[in-house]
Amino acid sequence: MSLNFYKDLFATLCFISFSFALATKRAELFLAALIFGALSTSAHRRRWEDPIWARLYMERFNAWLDDLFDRHNQKTEFKDEEKINPLPPLDDDRDRRL
């Protein structure tokens, strides 16, 4: 499973620096947005590998989400369509023990 970690990281930095560049009209921020955009495109085209810590973090995060989903969607032994019949009467074992 590819996370596209570097592509997403540099694309985010590109949009952040571009928005600050539009707000402040600073040439350095426009240049930073251009460089981050180029790095994002390079990471996508060259298929840079994701760092191991990012993969481990995402596996842990997905396991946590699965656990959370399982806790809120617990399965029951009856289906929704099945009618639940009353339980049969219990034997009265108290008389036999005495």
> Does some domain include residue 42?
yes
Q: Is residue 32 in a domain?
A: yes
Residue with tokens 């617990």: 74
Whether residue 29 is contained in a domain is answered as: yes
Residue 41 lies in a domain: yes
Tokens of 47: 């298929």
**Rounded distance, CA 25 to CA 57, Å?**
37
Mean pLDDT of the chain, nearest integer = 86
pTM for the model stands at 0.63
For 29-75, how does the pLDDT look when each residue is reduced to its tens digit (9 = 90+)?
Answer: 999 999 999 999 999 999 999 999 999 999 999 999 998 888 877 66
Full domain range(s) for residue 56: 5-72
Would residue 33 count as lying in a domain?
Answer: yes
**Number of domains the chain is built from:** 1
Would you tell me how many other CB atoms lie within 10 Å of the CB of residue 15? 14
The per-residue DSSP string of 59-75 comes to HHHHHHHHHHHHHHS--
Amino acid at 25: K
In-domain check, residue 91: no
